[in-house]
Amino acid sequence: MQDIYRGQILELAKSARLSEPLDKPTHSAEKNNPICGDKVTIDMVIKNEVVSDVHLFVRGCALCEAGAGMLGETAIGKNLDDLKKLTNKMDNYLNNNESAPDNAYLCFEPVKKIKNRITCVLLAFQAASELTPNKRS
């Protein structure tokens, strides 16, 4: 069973690495984890208050990349409030043993046992909940 989780984690990490830059993102955010050095930069296009495109740039471990990959796969069609709610649900799932936001998130179940790696998974979600409009858009 552990191998299945690793496979899902690696696939999500790969999807974050394959994220294509956006020509004109309307919103951006950056989040750092000073303890391990992970860094996530998120650019999004938000039209009519709904996410229509996402670019992720991650400099970090596979768990950080996987968290970003999951965010990238689920952010399209959501609004900023949805992203904040999703961040809270992920935090409660990983830190407080509440239900996963969706069955797709169960691949992160093994991370719950490694408290210092939870921050890695949450970094992109935290960045998404702090998106601000770009001045140049």
Distance separating alpha carbons of residues 27 and 103, to the nearest angstrom: 28
Instruction: Name the E strands within the chain.
Output: 27-32, 39-47, 50-59, 132-133
Residue 136: the pLDDT is 62
> 37 is in which domain, residue-wise?
2-133
Which helix (DSSP H) or strand (DSSP E) does residue 64 occupy? helix 62-75
Residue-level pLDDT, tens digit, the chain, 137 residues: 344 357 899 999 999 999 999 999 999 999 999 988 999 999 999 999 999 999 999 999 999 999 999 999 999 999 999 999 999 999 999 999 999 999 999 999 999 988 889 999 999 999 999 999 998 65
Residue 6: the pLDDT is 72
For the entire predicted model, the pTM comes to 0.92
Residue 82: the pLDDT is 96
- Confirm if 64 and 116 have CB atoms less than 8 A apart: no
Tokens at 56, concatenated? 């992720």
CA distances in angstroms from 60 to 10, 25, 32, 115, 119, listed in the order given: 13, 22, 10, 17, 11
CATH number at residue 124: 3.90.1010.10
How many domains are contained in the chain?
1
